[in-house]
């Protein structure tokens, strides 16, 4: 993917989306998936993982990705706001149901997957913890420490984060099974919603797609690949089949970052 720099992105009109370059960051991949399904054109702007980019902070008030910016509107840094912006700019195909109950449920699933203390956030804490345990002193460990500070790693919180991962994966698998019994192959109702896109992208934090579809450095692949037996036990094959279907039929492959 070709990226603009932050200053160029800031000066450009229309839709600009700041994305983590060079790897399948699940937050950024979710935003890309939503925009792809909606055929929304945008200018990708590079965020370099681990860098504290002053220009990005000046523009968006923070240094993580993704951020979606529409014309002169305030930058949207929360995943729920990015979904709502995408819905507004391209209502068709809708990725949030019209029915309020189904809509609240869909946004709730998205939040449980991507929000603070949700699945991805908790998995990141367990990943950082494992990295700290295996890295010796050096630049790699310094980078890990940086992410630990940025994303609130605290050894005392890791068991609860692991438990959150287990419970959320088990719940998502239950949801899929229940939908399947009703004859649906989607997480909510009978059609694709943002919840399916969120899960597809965040599955990378447990079992990344094969190298030909998702080229990653060995280090990143190792970090993303789940090895905890208790988590693997709830990582139902149906969850990964669902991820594959959503990528094959809706988002498109290979990943490009």
Ligand X SMILES: N[C@@H](CCC(=O)N[C@@H](CS)C(=O)NCC(=O)O)C(=O)O
| Footprint on this chain of ligand X (rule: CB under 6 A) | 20, 25, 27, 47, 49-50, 64-65, 77-79, 114-115, 150
Are the C-beta atoms of 77 and 62 separated by less than 8 Å? yes
| Shortest distance, position 6 Cβ to ligand X, whole Å | 13
Closer CB to ligand X, 67 or 90, in the complex:
67
* DSSP-assigned letter for residue 76: B
| Shortest distance, position 243 Cβ to ligand X, whole Å | 18
Phi, psi of 226 (to 5 degrees): -70, 135
| Shortest distance, position 108 Cβ to ligand X, whole Å | 14
| Shortest distance, position 76 Cβ to ligand X, whole Å | 9
Cα gap 3→56, rounded to integer Å: 14
Closer CB to ligand X, 27 or 105, in the complex:
27
Closer CB to ligand X, 176 or 255, in the complex:
255
| Shortest distance, position 106 Cβ to ligand X, whole Å | 16
Are the C-beta atoms of 83 and 34 separated by less than 8 Å? yes
Are the C-beta atoms of 77 and 67 separated by less than 8 Å? yes
> Is the N-terminal amide bond of 125 cis, ω within 30° of 0?
no
Residues 6+ positions from 80 with CB-CB distance below 8 Å: 107, 110, 111, 115
What is the chain's Cα-based Rg?
18
Closer CB to ligand X, 34 or 65, in the complex:
65
């Amino acid at each position: 993917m070709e990226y603009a720099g932050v200053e160029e992105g800031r000066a450009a009109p229309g839709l600009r989306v700041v994305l983590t370059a060079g790897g399948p960051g699940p937050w950024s991949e979710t935003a890309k998936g939503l925009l792809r399904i909606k055929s929304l054109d945008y200018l990708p702007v590079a965020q370099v993982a681990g860098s504290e980019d002053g220009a990005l902070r000046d523009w968006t008030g923070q240094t993580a990705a993704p951020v979606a910016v529409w014309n002169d509107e305030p930058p949207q840094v929360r995943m729920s706001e990015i979904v709502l912006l995408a819905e507004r700019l391209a209502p068709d195909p809708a990725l949030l149901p019209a029915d309020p109950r189904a809509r609240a449920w869909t946004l709730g699933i998205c939040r449980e997957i991507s929000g603070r203390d949700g699945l991805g956030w908790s998995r990141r804490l367990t990943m950082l913890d494992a990295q700290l345990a295996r890295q010796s002193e050096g630049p790699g460990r310094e980078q890990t420490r940086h992410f630990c500070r940025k994303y609130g790693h605290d050894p005392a919180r890791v068991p609860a984060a692991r438990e959150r991962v287990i419970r959320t994966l088990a719940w998502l698998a239950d949801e899929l099974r229940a939908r399947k019994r009703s004859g649906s192959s989607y997480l909510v109702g009978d059609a694709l919603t943002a919840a399916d896109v969120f899960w597809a992208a965040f599955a990378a934090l447990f079992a990344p797609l094969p190298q030909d579809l998702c080229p990653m450095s060995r280090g990143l692949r190792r970090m993303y690949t789940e090895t905890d037996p208790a988590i693997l036990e709830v990582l139902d094959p149906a969850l990964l089949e669902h991820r594959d279907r959503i990528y094959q039929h809706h988002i498109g492959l290979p990943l490009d970052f």
